Chains A and B, each alone.
Chain A
């Protein structure tokens, strides 16, 4: 059975998208509230996402809520924030097995949807404020999350590099916001901000799974009919402009292996050309970067690239021995030059295309990735299926790829390395 897609605007700026395929044994429901990423609000929204997922007005403590979830055959419920370009999303999501797999055909999906909307719309509130004790724990958890960024040096290097790459733009922030703001949060402000979130933000709701999307939609519609909306419109991203001079930044930490992140910016509007160019250049294990920087020169264990189409930024991140930083940088730049000069074969284009097709088609095989795919489509006001995106990639020509490579301008070279002198 093929995927059944349906979409309905169920309120002002509130969309419900249903993705039903009977082969799935789970149901996934996710509610996303999207706004501009903003220094004042980012940490507040992040703490709120945690708070909403820990309990609600009916199940006030973490153990009460989790007992309820366990009774629904070990359903999951999670709150998080995410970043899309210059925007921040708050997501509250839940999943469970499809009703027909329960012992007595119990209606657990409908019940779980009620728990989920309860968490979002009937939070644990006392005297015009979020429950203070519970909120303070969430604030601490957020601070811990921000502090823990340093534990994984690869991700940490990318986060720190982005501060430089996107200097002065919303995208310089992480979805969790900064520690200084997090430390100042309180339950009362958070509740005031929460009311704005519910009233003003773009809301994208998805049901994806093997169950009955209409039952879920009915519960969601009923729950959202009770809120007052003062919708302020969609949040969007802007392409990042290239710095007049390449920014070189180094930070020091007590590490064994150094990390280098290089950022290139492009204003090429042909996003499919950039995506294909990036695949040839640095995303696969047969890409230019893998074959040369890792395999041929043995400089790195990892050296790969990623492209953020919303910001027009291509990042190359690598883990490299301190004394080899210069060599790795030279080789990465050389490989960009090779791309710009068209030094890649038709077979490399074909193979990079196959790899992208494989990746995109895989989206169809999980409820979670389908919801995620259409969330990103809704963000750019599109509704393309994975198959439609594949068709667009197939139309990219060699000239388009060279043009995309030529549009890359080096913007930032960021290095994280040890404090000491020589290694």
Chain B
């Protein structure tokens, strides 16, 4: 087949990979890592738990499907007509898995030998759905147990309770696996409908890193990939106000110390603006309260936080929030101190010396990421699904200024649009 093999280089880190637009519409990215033993491959679709409303040129109106269906579909694709996919990988020795997140579903394997056969299995089963009434029903029990396992998981609950507090309409607030009630509505027709909509190669990315040659990958792709028609896929979400639903959400569970998640809701971004927002917000979070900050030191020395304390930028299609999480005997005091620090910095500005140190650390963490086959493959698929490249983060971080970061503080941290979620011990 005739197509271009584009080499993407980054001078700053001296790293490179290949990017190919396959004639079938699939985006293929390959990062050759010489001398490594393993190879990690991910085949993913831009389809996650939030994509419950969509339309193609075959639909008259927007279609709404039950919550949890993307995850259900992931489970079911692992079964072929005649066998279980795991039993195919068993013959190659590859370690295989899959996951569904808010905005993507990925099928992956990692192997040290028999790469070609494992890649054939991956490309084959993801393109070959097979569901019947019986096989779909059988999965209700397993996924039901998975959902119930998460009901007992305090870390999971405190996070989703926060999302429910932050978001009025956006489906990010719903558990990825759905609920026992919502999955009861899933049948094979609905699964085929979602499969045919989202598992279109034009909506998918294949990302491979490690001990592999790009030409070997492409040879197998040419042999295995099936042409896809353009469906003009559109996904939408209900309008989401800037405000939050609840400022505070609490639940009691079997835990020892209260767990908390504090979320600052802000405007969603996309593409390179999203990368800029993500990098700058991460630097703001480090400046505010990483382990070298005064706020961390004070809260730690006052016994308000322990080493579980962490921050995270959480974003995707239609949502963006900054999260502070941890365990504390007094989560509200932690929240109040964070708010005070944000207001103080808004007036006094950030410390320039620490800003430079944090930028340096950010660069270091990107270099570390290039060390690991799995991290490299994952960062490539994440980047391409968001419409950027994996080097955009290291470049954005290198060019960020103190002024950018200061402005970001005002954009992303409005204390009116916050939710604190607390899981308290059962008395």
Asked if B116 is at the interface (CB within 8 A of a chain A CB), the reply is no
Q: Are the C-beta atoms of A144 and B255 separated by less than 8 Å?
A: no
Asked if A319 is at the interface (CB within 8 A of a chain B CB), the reply is yes
Q: Are the C-beta atoms of A357 and B257 separated by less than 8 Å?
A: no
Given A153-B152, A365-B38, A301 and B146 touching (CB < 8 A)?
yes
Residues of B within 8 Å of A95, CB to CB, are 368
Q: Are the C-beta atoms of B113 and A73 separated by less than 8 Å?
A: no
Asked if B175 is at the interface (CB within 8 A of a chain A CB), the reply is no
Contact with B along A356-398 (1 / 0, CB 8 A): 0111011011110000000000000000000000000000000
Given A74-B364, A351-B91, A354-B93, A365 and B37 touching (CB < 8 A)?
yes
Q: Are the C-beta atoms of B36 and A365 separated by less than 8 Å?
A: yes
Q: Which residues of A245-275 are within 8 A (CB) of B?
A: 253-257
Q: Are the C-beta atoms of A301 and B145 separated by less than 8 Å?
A: yes
Closest-CB distance, B369 to chain A (whole angstroms): 9
Closest-CB distance, B111 to chain A (whole angstroms): 6
On chain A, the number of residues with a Cβ less than 8 Å from chain B's Cβ atoms is 68
Residues of A within 8 Å of B365, CB to CB, are 74
Q: Are the C-beta atoms of B86 and A133 separated by less than 8 Å?
A: no
Q: Which residues of B22-44 are within 8 A (CB) of A?
A: 33-38
Q: How far is the CA of A74 from the CA of B142 in the complex (A)?
A: 42
Closest-CB distance, B202 to chain A (whole angstroms): 30
Asked if A140 is at the interface (CB within 8 A of a chain B CB), the reply is yes
The size bracket of the interface on B is: 35 or more
Asked if A333 is at the interface (CB within 8 A of a chain B CB), the reply is no
Q: How far is the CA of A347 from the CA of B88 in the complex (A)?
A: 12
Residues of A within 8 Å of B367, CB to CB, are 25-26, 73, 97, 101
Asked if B306 is at the interface (CB within 8 A of a chain A CB), the reply is yes
Q: Are the C-beta atoms of A137 and B301 separated by less than 8 Å?
A: yes
Asked if B96 is at the interface (CB within 8 A of a chain A CB), the reply is yes
Residues of A within 8 Å of B306, CB to CB, are 140-141, 144-145
Asked if B307 is at the interface (CB within 8 A of a chain A CB), the reply is yes
Stretch at the interface among A62-70, A188-196, A213-221: A62-70
Residues of B within 8 Å of A244, CB to CB, are none
Asked if A46 is at the interface (CB within 8 A of a chain B CB), the reply is no
Q: How far is the CA of A66 from the CA of B300 in the complex (A)?
A: 14
Asked if A164 is at the interface (CB within 8 A of a chain B CB), the reply is no
Closest-CB distance, A319 to chain B (whole angstroms): 5
Q: Which residues of B268-297 are within 8 A (CB) of A?
A: 290-294, 296-297
Q: Are the C-beta atoms of B370 and A257 separated by less than 8 Å?
A: no
Residues of B within 8 Å of A358, CB to CB, are 93-95, 110-113
Asked if A71 is at the interface (CB within 8 A of a chain B CB), the reply is yes
Asked if B148 is at the interface (CB within 8 A of a chain A CB), the reply is yes
Contact with A along B355-395 (1 / 0, CB 8 A): 00110111111011011110000000000000000000000
- With both beta carbons as reference points, the residue of chain A lying nearest to B329 in the complex is identified as A144
Q: Are the C-beta atoms of B87 and A286 separated by less than 8 Å?
A: yes
Asked if A12 is at the interface (CB within 8 A of a chain B CB), the reply is no
Q: Are the C-beta atoms of B152 and A150 separated by less than 8 Å?
A: no
Q: Are the C-beta atoms of B303 and A151 separated by less than 8 Å?
A: no
Closest-CB distance, B194 to chain A (whole angstroms): 22
- With both beta carbons as reference points, the residue of chain A lying nearest to B35 in the complex is identified as A23
Given A25-B370, A295-B84, A355-B90, A255 and B152 touching (CB < 8 A)?
yes
Q: Are the C-beta atoms of A286 and B90 separated by less than 8 Å?
A: yes
Asked if A24 is at the interface (CB within 8 A of a chain B CB), the reply is yes
Q: Are the C-beta atoms of B373 and A351 separated by less than 8 Å?
A: no
Given A62-B291, A355-B93, A355-B95, A300 and B254 touching (CB < 8 A)?
no
Q: How far is the CA of A101 from the CA of B89 in the complex (A)?
A: 38
Residues of B within 8 Å of A137, CB to CB, are 300-301, 303
Q: Are the C-beta atoms of B154 and A151 separated by less than 8 Å?
A: yes
Contact with B along A266-288 (1 / 0, CB 8 A): 00000000000000000011100
Closest-CB distance, B394 to chain A (whole angstroms): 12
Q: Which residues of A117-141 are within 8 A (CB) of B?
A: 133, 137, 140-141
Q: How far is the CA of A321 from the CA of B141 in the complex (A)?
A: 10
Closest-CB distance, B12 to chain A (whole angstroms): 10
Given A66-B290, A97-B364, A358-B112, A257 and B145 touching (CB < 8 A)?
yes
Asked if B64 is at the interface (CB within 8 A of a chain A CB), the reply is no
Residues of B within 8 Å of A355, CB to CB, are 90, 93, 95
Given A62-B300, A74-B362, A153-B152, A144 and B327 touching (CB < 8 A)?
yes
Closest-CB distance, A162 to chain B (whole angstroms): 19
Given A320-B145, A354-B92, A73 and B112 touching (CB < 8 A)?
no
Q: Are the C-beta atoms of A357 and B364 separated by less than 8 Å?
A: no
Asked if A341 is at the interface (CB within 8 A of a chain B CB), the reply is no
Residues of B within 8 Å of A25, CB to CB, are 367-368, 370-371
Residues of B within 8 Å of A294, CB to CB, are 142
Residues of B within 8 Å of A357, CB to CB, are 93, 112-113
Q: Are the C-beta atoms of B110 and A362 separated by less than 8 Å?
A: yes
Asked if A152 is at the interface (CB within 8 A of a chain B CB), the reply is yes
- With both beta carbons as reference points, the residue of chain B lying nearest to A295 in the complex is identified as B84
Asked if B347 is at the interface (CB within 8 A of a chain A CB), the reply is no
Closest-CB distance, A149 to chain B (whole angstroms): 8
Residues of B within 8 Å of A71, CB to CB, are 357, 360
Residues of B within 8 Å of A365, CB to CB, are 36-38, 372-373
Q: Are the C-beta atoms of B301 and A133 separated by less than 8 Å?
A: yes
Q: How far is the CA of A253 from the CA of B354 in the complex (A)?
A: 46
Contact with A along B135-150 (1 / 0, CB 8 A): 0001111110110110
Q: How far is the CA of A69 from the CA of B286 in the complex (A)?
A: 14
Q: Are the C-beta atoms of B364 and A257 separated by less than 8 Å?
A: no
Residues of A within 8 Å of B37, CB to CB, are 361-362, 364-365
Q: Which residues of A218-260 are within 8 A (CB) of B?
A: 253-257
Asked if B401 is at the interface (CB within 8 A of a chain A CB), the reply is no
Residues of A within 8 Å of B93, CB to CB, are 351, 354-355, 357-358
Asked if A61 is at the interface (CB within 8 A of a chain B CB), the reply is yes
- With both beta carbons as reference points, the residue of chain B lying nearest to A2 in the complex is identified as B35
Closest-CB distance, B56 to chain A (whole angstroms): 33
Q: Are the C-beta atoms of B361 and A73 separated by less than 8 Å?
A: yes
Q: How far is the CA of A298 from the CA of B136 in the complex (A)?
A: 12
Asked if B1 is at the interface (CB within 8 A of a chain A CB), the reply is no
Asked if B155 is at the interface (CB within 8 A of a chain A CB), the reply is yes
Closest-CB distance, B98 to chain A (whole angstroms): 11
Closest-CB distance, A42 to chain B (whole angstroms): 19
Q: How far is the CA of A163 from the CA of B113 in the complex (A)?
A: 40
Q: Are the C-beta atoms of B368 and A26 separated by less than 8 Å?
A: yes
Q: How far is the CA of A152 from the CA of B253 in the complex (A)?
A: 11
Contact with A along B92-113 (1 / 0, CB 8 A): 1111100000000000001111
Asked if B151 is at the interface (CB within 8 A of a chain A CB), the reply is yes
Q: Are the C-beta atoms of A70 and B92 separated by less than 8 Å?
A: no
Partner of A286, one of B84, B290, B308: B84
Q: How far is the CA of A24 from the CA of B37 in the complex (A)?
A: 13
Closest-CB distance, A272 to chain B (whole angstroms): 17
Asked if A75 is at the interface (CB within 8 A of a chain B CB), the reply is yes
Contact with B along A138-162 (1 / 0, CB 8 A): 0011001101101111100000000
Q: List 10 A-B contacts (CB under 8 A).
A: A26-B371, A71-B360, A73-B360, A145-B306, A147-B256, A291-B84, A298-B138, A300-B142, A302-B149, A358-B111
A-side residues, CB < 8 A to B, are 1, 21, 23-26, 50, 61-63, 66-67, 69-71, 73-75, 95-97, 101, 133, 137, 140-141, 144-145, 147-148, 150-154, 253-257, 284-286, 290-291, 294-295, 298-302, 319-321, 347, 351, 354-355, 357-359, 361-362, 364-367
Nearest first, the 7 closest Cβ-Cβ pairs linking A and B are A74-B361, A354-B93, A147-B256, A73-B364, A298-B141, A66-B292, A74-B364
